[in-house]
Amino acid sequence: MQHTPSPQHIPVDLAPPGSDEDAARADLWGLLSLLFIAPPSAQALSQLAAAPAASDAPDSALQQAWCELQRVAASVTPQQVRDEFEALFGGSGLSRRIDLGESEDHFAVLAEIMRFLIAGDDPAVCTLTRQRDLFQRHIQPWGAQMCDAIEGDRTAQFYRALAGFTREFLQVEQMAFDLLD
């Protein structure tokens, strides 16, 4: 895994471009992209389990979801997560029907674009306005539904925890973008 989450803080309001808070947001979007595009390796699971806190507020819903994701990451094997990924998302390669919309793939790509819009070095492209537009047009309308679907699968363990964290992170992002209006 290239990026491990390095957040010391997940702000309710958006930080100035280039700040530590922005770097943490970009890292989290990058992490979500990596975890939804493919099952994590053993190294990625152990890095996730040992990563720093997601929030200063220990009782926040975001922090609780992060702790649950870390707990689950520490308790599962890479093979269990691979099997869960295959069961939830229908496999990859030749066994996957390319004509079907794949929510997890779509989300992973959007998360990677968000990461770029936060951490990219082109100030003409990487703006809060573009972040908000991408989020509100392409992520927010269905992101929670994707999380609901994943959490609704009783066999899911790692991806249920990931969906719970994703939902809370999306809510924090929405609150922050609402402050821009």
For the chain, the structural domain boundaries read 20-178
The whole-number average pLDDT for the span 88-104 is: 58
SS3 content of the chain, % helix, strand, coil (to 5): 65, 0, 35
Q: What angle do CA 9, 31, 130 make, to 5 degrees?
A: 75
Quickly state the pLDDT bin for 91 (edges 50, 70, 90).
Answer: low
pLDDT (tens digit, 9 = 90+) per residue, 47-57?
999 998 766 67
- Long-range pairs for 36-41 at CB < 8 Å and ≥24 separation? 36/104, 36/105, 36/107, 36/108, 36/111, 36/162, 37/104, 37/105, 37/108, 37/109, 38/85, 38/92, 39/78, 39/81, 39/82, 39/84, 39/85, 40/1, 40/73, 40/78, 40/81, 41/1, 41/78
Residue with tokens 């229908």: 90
| Residue 37 in this model has a pLDDT that exceeds 70 | yes
Percent of the chain, pLDDT > 90? 73
Quickly state the pLDDT bin for 5 (edges 50, 70, 90).
Answer: very low
**CB-based contacts of 57: which residues, under 8 Å, 6+ apart?**
63
The whole-number average pLDDT for the span 32-58 is: 90
pTM of the model: 0.84
Task: Tell me what the pLDDT averaged over the chain comes to.
Answer: 85
20-178: CATH topology is: TorD-like (1.10.3480)
Q: Provide DSSP, 144-176.
A: HHHHHHHHT-TT-SHHHHHHHHHHHHHHHHHHH
Quickly state the pLDDT bin for 25 (edges 50, 70, 90).
Answer: very high
Percent of the chain, pLDDT > 70? 82
